[in-house]
Amino acid sequence: MRKPKKLLNDPNNVRQEVMQGLIYAYNGKLTAIEDCCAVYGNHIITDQVVVVSGGGSGHEPTFAGFIGHGGIDGCALGEVFTSPSPDQIIAVTKAIEKGKGVLFLYGNYSGDGMNFDISAEILAEDNIISKTIRATDDIASAPLAKLSDRRGVAGIMLLYKIAGAAAQIEKYDLDKLYQVVSKANANVRTIGVALDGCALPQSTNFNFELADDEIEIGIGIHGEAGLRRQTMTSSDDVVKQMIDHLCDDLPFVAGDRVCVLINNLGALSNTELMIITRKVGIELKARKIDSHDIVVGHFCTSLEMSGFSITLMKLDDELQHLYDLPCQTLGWRK
Amino acid sequence: MRKPKKLLNDPNNVRQEVMQGLIYAYNGKLTAIEDCCAVYGNHIITDQVVVVSGGGSGHEPTFAGFIGHGGIDGCALGEVFTSPSPDQIIAVTKAIEKGKGVLFLYGNYSGDGMNFDISAEILAEDNIISKTIRATDDIASAPLAKLSDRRGVAGIMLLYKIAGAAAQIEKYDLDKLYQVVSKANANVRTIGVALDGCALPQSTNFNFELADDEIEIGIGIHGEAGLRRQTMTSSDDVVKQMIDHLCDDLPFVAGDRVCVLINNLGALSNTELMIITRKVGIELKARKIDSHDIVVGHFCTSLEMSGFSITLMKLDDELQHLYDLPCQTLGWRK
């Protein structure tokens, strides 16, 4: 059996060291609240609603790597695959809130939900108003009838893009920001596939195992079980299955305009990802779905998991305008 | 023994499918010369020297993913880990050359060198003048006394950045462009480390094997033997060894200004890469070397190799100015 092989220092100190690495990678554009493992951007302007996120480490550049001009404003870093605590969320929000309120935008996981909700209540006592959007883009995590049970995965990057453009550049107020990001969340769908698992820093085993000829369709970003395991077929066949699932779900139909995010979950080669990109383009064209933009790379990773995800977001004029605005973050520049 | 696990279509058709994927990923900003597997950007302006590169597939986004405004202009795609042919190089050069000449800029490998030199001779007969720079940044590939024998690795991205800015934005003529990129090449140094090997698409075995507790310092981007194999220690210890090697080589000393490129070779987690980034920042600060900028990500990969490289380029005012200019490519936006 294959064993995880990692280059680390103290496996119990990963999030602190990741945070310190982010500070260097941001070249002076990021400030750390060291004692509570939270960070915020130095781009924040007065008179904007701030967008604060948070989540477990292990998904870099998600979540903190999307801080910046046209991105999010602050982030609380949890331990690997673990929610941040209310202390962290409250500290970063208080450090950056400008009197216009805060949008909490994060993935729909129970621990995150609980800790952000507690934070919102405590902040309300200090007259900091907030609204909350939980990304629910993972179509494999619950049936459409239970949309609000779905988990958030790579699609959250597109919500960050929309939220950052609306809050910072177009100066939406909190109500209007909540409305547009809710619309984006309703329009975004993701599905992932794993070829191999990932391992927590402290672990000597992978968090799931697949046979040499097996893949898992619908994998979650912590290795949560997907829709099914199946025998490996061709790249084109797997991508077609994924696009079928995505298009059936929203649905995405002929004449729709979408932006596309093709995300490497970690260890898949970029060579394979480019071959995947080709087939995504071909499939969308065959369905007469207009690809307004395709971005390809490592956006929301799962440690060293070998796999990828495909995200589609249906655009209307407002979403397209916001999507097209520039952003300058570690994980995404436009 | 671990076996390679890849999601492909025809393993003998990788470069064509990669090229078609690039076309989608570039969203209309890239043109393919389909029958000879070469691509060029739609950004090219009249009155510029064009910068043409090429190399084997399997390193995505290198090489073609650095085409764009402020990047290179055209690229010939070889089969995986194989040089492109003169036919390809000549076709893409003829498609984009503007009468101001062409700078051939690629990694120092014998096959590439031979095929680009043949191309230059044939193009000269058509009155297309060219100059050639071969990146030689890999300090592990030959001793300093044999600098011109060294191979090109991730440092070529920094040369692309300098060349693209100089040719397109500052409109350097061919002689001046050759001089500044030669200076950049003389100032750039890279060292890589592997935790695990990579496998060619057609192969059922990895191209090298390391024991569970073993790493290789100085690995090449095709798995060429490095300086030494050693027992895995801490991330901080490995990074310090690498920075020692880099600083001793040029040398980089207190008071120097550098830009830093921290490159994921493929399958290493971005979490580990961020911890590496932290230590690179700490080490440079301790040596009083000024980090003008640090970029972190997947720039020059080696299929699914688990590992990373660190590149330093010493800056003077001219190089810093060119480095700071914007670029809009698939692999690097600034």
Among candidate residues A280, A323, A151, the one with its CA nearest the CA of residue A224 = A151
CB burial readout A218-247, b (16+ within 10 A) else e: bbbbbbbebbebeebeebbebbbbbbebbb
**Closest Cα in chain B, distance from residue A18 (Å):** 5
**pLDDT tens digit sequence for B111-143:** 999 999 999 999 999 999 999 999 999 999 999
pLDDT at A99 over 80: yes
ipTM, 2 dp: 0.98
Chain A partners within 8 Å of B271 (Cβ): 14, 18, 57-58, 60, 80, 201, 301, 303
pLDDT value of position B2: 78
Average pLDDT over residues A206-229: 96
pLDDT digit string, tens, across residues B246-290: 999 999 999 999 999 999 999 999 999 999 999 999 999 999 999
CB-CB under 8 Å, A25 with B60: no
Partners of residue A270 in chain B, C-beta under 8 Å: 60-61, 266, 298, 301
**What domains appear along chain A, each with residue ranges and CATH number?**
13-186 (3.40.50.10440), 188-324 (3.30.1180.20)
Q: Which residues of B are catalytic?
A: 59, 222
Chain B residue numbers with beta carbons less than 8 Å from the beta carbon of A212 are 3, 5
How far, rounded to the nearest angstrom, does the alpha carbon of residue A54 sit from its chain's CA centroid?
A: 10
Per-residue pLDDT reduced to its tens digit, B55-81: 999 999 999 999 999 999 999 999 999
Quick one: tokens of A156? 């959250």
Average pLDDT over residues A171-188: 98
Please tell me the predicted confidence (pLDDT) of residue A63: 97
- Tell me what percent of the residues of chain B surpass a pLDDT of 70: 100
Cβ-defined contact of B269 to A266 (cutoff 8 Å) = yes
Query: What's the whole-number mean pLDDT along residues A256-284?
Result: 98
Q: CA–CA separation, A147 vs A130, rounded Å?
A: 23
Is the pLDDT reported for residue A193 higher than 80? yes
Cβ burial B152-173 (10 Å sphere, 16+ → b, else e): bbbbbbbbbbbbbbbbbbeebe
Task: Report pLDDT for A229.
Answer: 98
The pLDDT of residue A184: 98
Does any CB of chain B come closer than 8 Å to the CB of residue A29?
no
Q: Does A270 touch chain B (CB under 8 A)?
A: yes
Of chain A residues 186-215, which have a CB less than 8 A from chain B?
A: 193, 195-196, 198, 201, 212, 215
Say yes or no: A283 contacts chain B, CB-CB below 8 A.
no
Q: CB pairs below 8 Å between A and B: how many?
A: 199
* Interface mutation target, options A1, A5, A7, chain B, most CBs of B under 10 Å: A7
SS3 breakdown of chain A: % helix, strand, coil, rounded to 5? Answer: 35, 25, 40
Residue of B136, B147, B139, B182 lying closest to B162 (CA atoms)? B182
Per DSSP (E only), the strands in chain B are 30-33, 38-41, 50-57, 68-69, 74-80, 102-107, 130-135, 188-196, 214-217, 228-231, 257-264, 290-297, 306-314, 328-329
- Cβ–Cβ of A6/B330 closer than 8 Å? no
Q: Do B21 and A334 touch (CB under 8 A)?
A: no
What is the torsional sign of CA B295, B309, B290, A23? positive
What's residue B1's pLDDT? 67
- Given a cut of 90, whether residue A187 has pLDDT beyond it is yes
Q: What angle do CA B60, A259, A196 make, to 5 degrees?
A: 50
